[in-house]
Amino acid sequence: MTYTFGLDTFGDRNGDADGKPASHAQTIRNVAEEGVVAEQAGVDFFGIGEHHTDYFPMPAGDVVLAAIAARTEKIRLGSAVTVLSSDDPVRVFQRYSTLNAISRGRAEVILGRGSSIESFPLFGYDLADYEELFEEKATLFAELLKGTPVTWDGKTRAPLLNQDVVPHTESGPFPAWIGVGGSPRSVIRAARLGFSLMLAIIGGPPARFAAYSQLFERALDKFGRPPLPVGVHSPGHVAATDEQAKAEFWPRWRDIVALIAPERGFAIPTEASFDWETGPHGALYVGSPETVARKIATNLRALGATRFDLKYGLPGLTHDQLMTNVELYGQQVVPRVRELLG
Amino acid sequence: MTGPSKVAVLGAGHAGPVIARLAVAAGYPVAIATSGDPEDIALITELVIPGARPRWAADAVADADIVVLAIPLHRFGAIDPGLLSGKLVVDAMNYWPASDGVLKAFEDGGSSEIVARRLAGSTVVKALNHIGYHELEDRARLAGAPDRRAAGVAGDDPAAVAAIADLLDRIGYDPVRLDSLRAGRLLQPGGPVFGAVLTLPEFERAVRQEAGSLI
């Protein structure tokens, strides 16, 4: 079995050692640096999630990925996620096929319907339409990936008639995933359209998603498609020891979840809930390299998944803390997980 | 009694399958339906909600004693009130503009009161809306468990409130009864218990502190 290990960031705005926030611009430059160091540390994939807020100032991750591409050779580069519902699938395809050209075939996309929804009002979309927007746009994106002229008609953008969309890729479609947060119908859609499945697991016991992996496998079969990979995206933080990782992560986690809880319906975390989520059955991967590696291995097995992306960083963590996280993940966690999975 | 109440869950998105699973686990006969063909959710039901039965919405509702509305609120307008006439309807939906956009019809007042006005032939209670779908299952506990949490049920019809309080107890929560749909505003987004998963004393304290604002 071939496993792939990635790091994802939302461009979480860095803090300095005194807690003072870094500028948006400095945070973006730091993300580029972290991507380069991720390759040096042996990480397989580096992903940037689209966000439009003061604490995640990362609306154009593909530009940052291009900067990383110019300084790296092997690491795969992609979105995590692209909020496709509020973007134009043609433009998303063009941006990532351009990234694919610059990086010599290392681009990927993870498409999301939008659990983080600040892009809807920003670009003039109605949240009430988010299901229809994503269904249509994901369908069009699947057509664009084929690389042949596209004919398409729908409600959410101008029609296309035998349209050649450039730039062409050199060696077929780049990998494309749909990120799923908890709706089984989204799992079926990924299978129907032929996207790989990325399970975003940010709370509760990861093992409960095992039914989703089975659902995906069965649905692919039902739609006459070959097997496709299942991946897991979850938040975490790696430091030298469990105690240090938790001490660095907890106050930032509490603050950011408290900030977004009213929009997303999350419970405000308590120290007890945090201990549970960072424990063996929870969804957070916070600890020493050994602790995090064991948890990743356990959950990849439980979920029948072959890809794990650690969403590292939180608003307020320092660039130095993130660099340590990136290095420990690539140099110690990933080899240890591979060893555990034999 | 003619056997346990039959439950129909309308909606197979985030919340519907979780509610259906909890009801199956509690021993209820459960049907699940969307606006479309049950064949579309057959695989989902088999693997994600084993024990439930996918049906056409009209059939599921016709046979049900309890109907749970677990659809996005902006789809509520597509529901035919006649379909739900005479039924005990649990409104598990939320009006949550930050997450789902602005709906003019729901801008003023309690969302379940507005739902109930449209479903004039049904008995509407508000429940299962204030604990996130990602937590509802994980926090469910048998009666008497030391870490059991509370869940609210609000309605104008005491018998309906009692029936759903019983359902909440069976699926794993200490029920807290609120004696009017208007009081159900306490369970809404922005209210004292929304998104929080509280123990019974914590829940009762939170509700009591804010109840005055509704009178």
**Chain B residues whose beta carbon lies within 8 Å of the beta carbon of residue A262:** 98, 189-190, 195
Q: Which residues pair with B8 in a beta bridge?
A: B31, B67
Q: Which of A132, A185, A212 is best to mutate for the B interface (most B CBs within 10 A)?
A: A185
Angle at A201 between CA A200 and CA A207, to 5 degrees: 125
Tokens 């105690």 locate to A243
Structure tokens at A2: 């071939």
Q: What's residue B144's pLDDT? A: 92
Sequence ranges of the domains in chain B: 7-214
pLDDT band per the 50, 70, 90 thresholds, residue B2: low
Q: What is the pLDDT of residue A114?
A: 67
Per the CB < 8 Å rule, is B14 touching A117? no
Query: What pairs with residue B154 in β-bridges?
Result: B126, B178
Q: Please, is B162 exposed, middle or buried when counting C-beta atoms within 10 Å of its C-beta (0-12, 13-18, 19+)?
A: middle
SS3 label, residue B133: helix
**Pick from B24, B32, B36, B21: nearest CA to B54:** B32
Q: What is the mean pLDDT of residues A1-28?
A: 95
Interface contact A208, partner B, CB < 8 A: yes
* CATH superfamily of domain region B7-214: NAD(P)-binding Rossmann-like Domain (3.40.50.720)
- The set of residues, in sequence order, having a beta carbon less than 8 Å from that of A256 and lying 6+ positions away, is A55, A314, A315, A316
Q: What is the mean pLDDT of residues A246-273?
A: 87
Interval A156-178: pLDDT, tens: 999 999 999 999 999 999 999 99
What is the tens place of the pLDDT at every residue in A224-249? 999 999 999 999 999 999 999 999 99
Which of B74, B138, B196 has its CB closest to that of A268? B196
Task: Give the DSSP letter of residue A333.
Answer: I
Write down the pLDDT at residue A128: 82
Q: How many CB pairs under 8 A join A and B?
A: 73
Residue A4 has pLDDT above 80, yes or no: yes
DSSP A273-302: HHHHHHSTTSS-EEE-HHHHHHHHHHHHHH
pLDDT at B38: 97
Q: What is the mean pLDDT of residues A31-35?
A: 98
Where residue A271 falls among pLDDT bands split at 50, 70, 90? very high
Distance from C-alpha of A255 to C-alpha of A262, rounded to nearest angstrom: 13
pLDDT of residue A18: 86
- Cβ-proximal residues to A160 (8 Å cutoff; 6+ apart), any chain: A90, A140, A150, A151, A152, A153
Fold of A4-341: TIM Barrel (3.20.20)
> What local confidence, expressed as pLDDT, does residue A126 receive?
87
Helices (H) and strands (E) in chain A, counts: 12, 12
In terms of Cα–Cα distance, which of A47, A31, A3, A123 is closest to A322?
Answer: A31
Per-residue buried b or exposed e for A85-124, using 16+ beta carbons within 10 Å of the residue's own CB: bbbbbbebbbbbbebbbebeebbbbbbbbbbbbbbbeeee
B109 pLDDT exceeds 70?
A: yes
Q: What chain A residue is nearest to B195 in terms of C-alpha separation? A: A267
Residue B211 has pLDDT above 80, yes or no: no
pTM for this model (two decimals): 0.92
How many angstroms separate the CA atoms of A225 and B196, rounded? 42
Distances (CA, A) of A113 to A123, A273, B77: 15, 28, 23
Find the chain B residues whose C-beta atoms sit closer than 8 A to any C-beta of A: 12-14, 17, 41, 43-44, 47-48, 72, 74, 96, 98-101, 103, 132-135, 137-138, 189-190, 194-197
pLDDT of residue A1: 82
Contact indicator for A322, A313 with CB cutoff of 8 Å: yes
Q: What is the mean pLDDT of residues A90-102?
A: 98
pLDDT value at residue B213: 62
Over 80: is that where the pLDDT of B99 sits? no
Q: Which residues of B touch A184 (CB under 8 A)?
A: 12, 17, 44, 48
Q: What mean pLDDT is predicted for residues A63-79?
A: 98
* A57 contacts: CB under 8 Å, gap ≥ 6: A11, A13, A24, A27, A28, A51
Mean pLDDT of chain A: 95
Give the pLDDT band of residue B134 (cuts 50, 70, 90): confident
Nearest Cα residue in chain A from B197: A267
